[in-house]
């Protein structure tokens, strides 16, 4: 596991982030698509001796996506992400659930952030405008 850990640190130090290029009209927001996440991981992971595969699997009661991150040394780590749908008999809804699980499973396995993450933006102090100049007003207890 030592070589895999070193490679993941190298990957993280690359600063790789998935671009939010897809639109979610329901929430009027942007998100990183599965294709963008895969492209971002592939662009940097290979330089670190890493690759991945994702399999749709199931047990007695649940379906999930298994994400396996592999290092050229033969070391690997595996994680499972549940596939959640409102109707398991509807292929379109199943496909959406699988895509969602693959995207979040892969981002989680590689610790891959989305560029311009809404969560990061929301956690930033609110700029205060005073006398035509923009300043940042830290909240109580902020760093």
SS3 per residue for the chain:
CHHHHHHHHHHHHCCCCECCCEEECCCCEEECCHHHHHHHHHHHHHHHCEEEEEEEEECCCCEEEEEEEEECCCCEEEEEEECCCCCCCCHHHHHHHHHHHHHHHHHHHHCCCECCCHHHHHHCCCEEEECCEEEECCCCCCC
Residues 70-118 have pLDDT tens digits of 999 999 999 999 999 989 889 999 999 999 999 999 999 999 987 654 4
Give the residue, 133 or 74, on which the prediction is more confident.
74
Average pLDDT of span 24-33: 79
pLDDT recorded at residue 1? 92
Give the pTM. Answer: 0.74
State phi, psi for 25 to the nearest 5 degrees: -65, -25
Instruction: Please say whether the dihedral angle defined by the alpha carbons of residues 105, 106, 109 and 111, taken in this order, is positive or negative.
Output: negative
Dist CA 95 CA 68 (whole Å): 20
- Residue 127 pLDDT greater than 60, yes or no: no
Average pLDDT of span 126-130: 46
Residues 37-59 have pLDDT tens digits of 999 999 999 999 999 999 999 99
Average pLDDT of span 127-138: 44
């Amino acid at each position: 596991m030592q070589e895999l850990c070193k490679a993941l640190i190298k990957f993280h130090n690359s600063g790789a982030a998935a671009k939010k290029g897809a639109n979610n009209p329901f929430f009027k927001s942007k998100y990183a698509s599965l294709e963008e996440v895969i492209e971002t991981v592939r662009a940097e992971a290979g330089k670190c001796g890493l690759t991945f595969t994702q399999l749709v699997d199931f047990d007695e009661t649940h379906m999930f996506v298994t994400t396996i991150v592999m290092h050229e040394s033969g070391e690997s780590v595996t994680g499972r992400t549940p596939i959640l749908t409102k109707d398991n008999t509807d292929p379109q809804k199943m496909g959406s659930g699988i895509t969602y699980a693959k995207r979040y499973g892969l981002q989680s396995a590689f610790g891959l952030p989305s560029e311009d993450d809404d969560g990061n933006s929301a956690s930033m102090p609110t700029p205060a405008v005073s006398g035509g100049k923009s300043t940042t007003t830290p909240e109580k207890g902020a760093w």
